[in-house]
Structure 1
Amino acid sequence: MIQRWSRYSTHLGQLLEETDALFQKVAVHPNPSINEMRTIITEKGEPLPSWLPDLEVELHKLQSEIKIERNVVDFGAVGDGVTDNTNAFRKAIGRGNCKIIIPEGVFVTKGIKLPSNTILVGAGKGKTIIKLHHDALKSAILITNKHHISGNHHIYVEGMTLDWNVKRLASDERTASGNNRSSCLTFAHVKYGWVRKVEAIHAGLHAFDVSSTLYYYIKDGFIGPGRSQYIWLDELNGYGFGDDGITTHHSDYIFISKSHMCDPSGRAHEPGYSNSNGIEIDDGSRYVWLANNSTTRCFGGVEIKAHHNASAASNVTIIGHLSVHDNRAFNFRHIGHHKGDDPESKTAYNIKAMNLVAMAPIFTSLYEVSTPRAMVISAYRHVVVNQFTVLGDSTYDFEGHPVIAIQYRAKQILLNKIYIDGFYHAGGIKGKFHVPEELT
């Protein structure tokens, strides 16, 4: 099996060049947005968005300009898992322009709001635990920026576990209160943000959310104001989230790397209808990169999508993703814009995906009526999938369902180096295809 897995193994630089060349064949020209989808490779061989070095300059600027360092303990915080530390955090953070140190312990709070130019650093995952107070509202966000309307900038969070404390709610209660609330960490209208080495558990809605001021459901083609921009999410993990692990809405230039999301509760939804994804690039998001992430036992491993009354996510690059036992490992769709009598999507375009692995997609109680797929592409156009390995469980009856479905109004789709093995009674690849002569 190892030999089969490596059948399409390609050096990263070659893979990027090959994928870009294929993408040029399917993308309609002129299309200036393609130029903003460039990926660079570091000396260590890591793929990065072309804009990331500029974000690193902003981080150096933040770190060099902050001269004040405070420990929350000096402001009365007690990490005993009982004391309400809300006021202690508020006093320590002040108006920002400071670095806040949180030592080991369990620090209970009703929510932390970070102003601009703030660094918040714990002792590490599982060592520093920030936990929502038992009396916190269902709408509470454990950590967020201070001004969702006017916006904030230069916020850095690292080295902690965030516990939304879902046990404070009734066991049969849905866990989210609507829009971009009820999450472990939300950046809403933030420019220049970093979240590194953070764990989020049992979020009511999302583990991590990069959002605009609000989620906008107005119409396809609408570009929502108050967008977050230039955000790096790195080495994150989450589980037990009510909806999605990592999600983005109406925001631009986001990099998600080396993160793992698994085992959602789905409790933000009606039982059996939980569209709970490991990583979801949602409504109106643009210029998003995913590199070397993984997901397990979610409804969707990676979902790129939009609701029917919002713009679709566009200009998305995926480099290396492992999906294990997700119901739909890779799901690209614009709801309400993919069937024959639907209006065609104005915004569902431009996806480059390479070096993907889907292992044993399965039925799930999260979304009971959803049949398993390694990949679904609906409504999107200008999509290249290059080097995709799909491995099934030979003891699992796939009941004649297609492993990959290219369907409805998907156009200009190019699949290259696809390897499928180990499925029992599967239907293969489903779709009607026309291969241009220059691609044969």
Structure 2
Amino acid sequence: MKITKKQLDMEAAIKETEQLFQQCSQHEPRPQINNKFTPVPFYKKSFEWLYRLFAKPFILLEPTQTLVDSVGNVYPEWKTKLDEEYAHLLNAINKEVNILDVGGIGDGKTDNTEAFKRAIGNGRVKVIVPEGVFITKGIRLPSWTILVGAGKGKTTIKLHDHAAKGTRLITNMNHWKGNHHLSVQGMSLNWNVERLGIVPKTSTWGNYSSCLTYAHVTYGWVKDVEGINPGLHCFDISSTLYNYAGDGYRACGGSKYVWLDNLNGYGFGDDGITTHHSDYIFISRSHMCDPSGRAHQRGSSNSNGIEIDDGSRNILLVNNSSARCFGGVEIKAHQNSSAASNVQIVGHISVNDNRCYNFRHIGHHKSTDTESKSAYNIMAMNLAAIAPIFTDLYKYSTPRGLVVSAYKNVVINYFTLIGDPEYNYNGNPVIAIQYRARNVFLNNISIKDFKSASVAIKIYGGKNLADSVKISNVAVRNSGAKAIDIGPGVQDIIVEKVKEL
């Protein structure tokens, strides 16, 4: 077995995973079942023309190359471009302003909205926000702006009690024309959800109601920032509008080349970190936990720690973590949008999430659905799923360490799953490969202590079967009646080197 207690050689493991992906993506899967599909309801089709006014065709890019530096840091090949542009940002700054020098007061009472406007001006400025709690009705950043605080828990920017429900606490100045070269660093962002009192839903439609939204931003940085109790998301890297023009289309005005580093968030109404219709996003060393789920109907809250959503491409996640969310990491799309593609995960720990790793294209799962045109290419390695649980966020969802649905070309390498032997998993599988997933490779998988599970790895068969699956180097202990269960009709499958300990 390749799985040991020694620390992984990251560079070697990444190369191994990339080689597996090459094998996976070049494999010719068995043809899918071609049944008649259920037509899209008229009331949904009637709005597609409007969304397509702001849409462009989906194109599958070449996957990002992942590199390792001399001290073991993992980064995308295009980070050098980001570093060059950050140097340009620093050179473009021609003044530095302390918010206190333009009338700002960090007493947790005074409205600082106008003080921030004076400090920021038309950009090319570094705005210093010292320790304190600075109340505002929202901050908008023009291009060439740096906003920097004294650190998480020291500098807090908090929404005013009279701010509207759809307020973004911090966002860029112009979502339609776009902005560039923005940096936010070293602060806590408190969306002040308490100001709304008891409401059935804490967010409005679209990319509103979040702690920080970059929409149509090219070259952006968010580092050492905390998101607190947003109505929707802690951090949203987005297009101008969320776009639902259908699979095969993407929104115009997506963000590009954005690095999110050392973020944490909690109490989010939907997701901690999310991306929509944006390219080349790097998310590292971030932790998201304990969502409120209040952006959804009670009991059906798809609130994820990190969600790579509709139309996102070439996203790299490195050494992040999540706890007590619906999904730890969800890679997906809604039925009426293109799926995220070319997503890579290098290191993630999921603790007590309901679906630790959930990869799906909603509405393109069943044999009666249209086949997804965009749900391709996921590489994940060095993952841990610790004790997934049932949750009140989504009360009918069963715990899973991993679910793959509808996606093609998925490689999971070096994955450790540890259950609670005293927890009741109600006879559910730990890993589920299902609903028309194709070209799925699982390698170096260790599963233990899911005592009440039915099976460690289940490949679902029947009319919605998964197929073209390879499973190798698996160790299973005290986790269900059998290690692997292959459903009816699954034919293109290889299983090798499986040990039940």
* TM-score range for the pair, normalised by the shorter chain length: over 0.9
- Structure 2: give runs of 5+ residues left out of the alignment: 29-58, 461-466, 471-491, 497-501
* Alpha-carbon separation, structure 2, partners of 1:303 and 1:240: 18
Partner amino acid, structure 2, of 1:58: E
C-alpha contact 1:8 1:417 (8 A) present in aligned 2: no
Comparing 129-138 and 20-29, the one that deviates more: 20-29
**Taking structure 1 as reference, are residues 155 and 58 closer, same or farther at Cα in structure 2, changes over 3 Å only?**
same
Distance 2:2 2:441 in 1: 22
Say if 1:5 and 1:260 are closer, same or farther in 2 by CA, change over 3 A. Answer: farther
Q: Cα offset for 1:425?
A: 1.6
The yes-or-no answer on 1:299 pairing with 2:326 is yes
Partner Cα distance (2:23, 2:436) in 1: 19
Counterpart amino acid of residue 17 in structure 2: T
Larger radius of gyration: 2
Partners of 1:26 and 1:383 within 8 A in 2: yes
1:16-415 pair list within 5 angstroms? 16-28=14-26, 35-415=62-442
Give the secondary structure class of the aligned counterpart of 2:451.
Answer: coil
The residue type equivalent to 1:302 in the other structure is: V
Distance in 2 (CA, whole Å) between partners of 1:27 and 1:223 is 23
Q: Percent identity?
A: 59
* Compared CA separation, residues 117 and 29, structure 1 to 2 (3 A): farther
What do residues 116-147 of structure 1 show as CA deviations (whole Å, max 9, x unaligned)? Answer: 00000000000000000000000000000000
Describe the superposition over 1:361-402 as per-residue Cα deviations: whole angstroms up to 9, x where unpaired.
000000000000000000000000000000001110111101
Structure 1 residue matching 2:314: 3-state secondary structure:
strand
Answer whether contact 2:3 2:444 (CA < 8 A) is retained. no
**Equivalence for 2:13:** 15
Equivalent pair of 1:207/1:245 in contact (CA under 8 Å): yes
Tell me if the contact between 1:5 and 1:389 (Cα under 8 Å) persists in the aligned partners. no
Q: Could you tell me how far 1:10 is from its partner in structure 2?
A: 2.7
Q: Deviations over 1:190-218 (max 9, x none)?
A: 00000000001000000000000010011
* TM superposition shift of 1:430: 1.1
Structure 1, gaps ≥5 residues long = none
- Cα offset, 1:33, TM superposition: 5.8
Q: CA deviation at 1:438?
A: 8.9
**Residue equivalent to 2:457:** 429
Distance 2:198 2:495 in 1: 54
| Deviations 1:298-332 (CA, angstroms, capped at 9, x unpaired) | 00000000000000000000000000000000000
Structure 2 length-normalised TM: 0.85
- Relative to 1, partners in 2 of residues 1:25 and 1:368: Cα closer, same or farther, differing over 3 Å? same
**TM-score, with structure 1 as normaliser:** 0.96
- Return closer, same or farther for 1:437/1:272 CA change in 2, 3 Å cut-off: closer
- Structure 1 distance, partners of 2:60, 2:209, is 33
Matches of 2:300 and 2:129, distance apart in 1: 39
How far the C-alpha of 1:171 sits from its partner, in A, is 2.4
Shift of 1:55: 0.5
Q: Which amino acid aligns with 1:51?
A: W
Q: Does the CA-based 8 Å contact 2:27-2:439 persist in structure 1? A: no
Q: What is the CA–CA distance in structure 1 between the aligned matches of 2:458 and 2:63, rounded to whole Å?
A: 32
Within 1, Cα distance between the matches of 2:421 and 2:27?
43
- 1:61 deviates by 1.1
CA distance in 2, matches of 1:29, 1:230: 31
Structural RMSD (CA): 1.8
Number of residue pairs matched by the alignment: 437
How has the CA–CA distance of structure 1 residues 4 and 202 changed in structure 2, closer, same or farther, with 3 Å as cutoff? farther
CA contact under 8 A between 2:229 and 2:267: conserved in structure 1?
yes
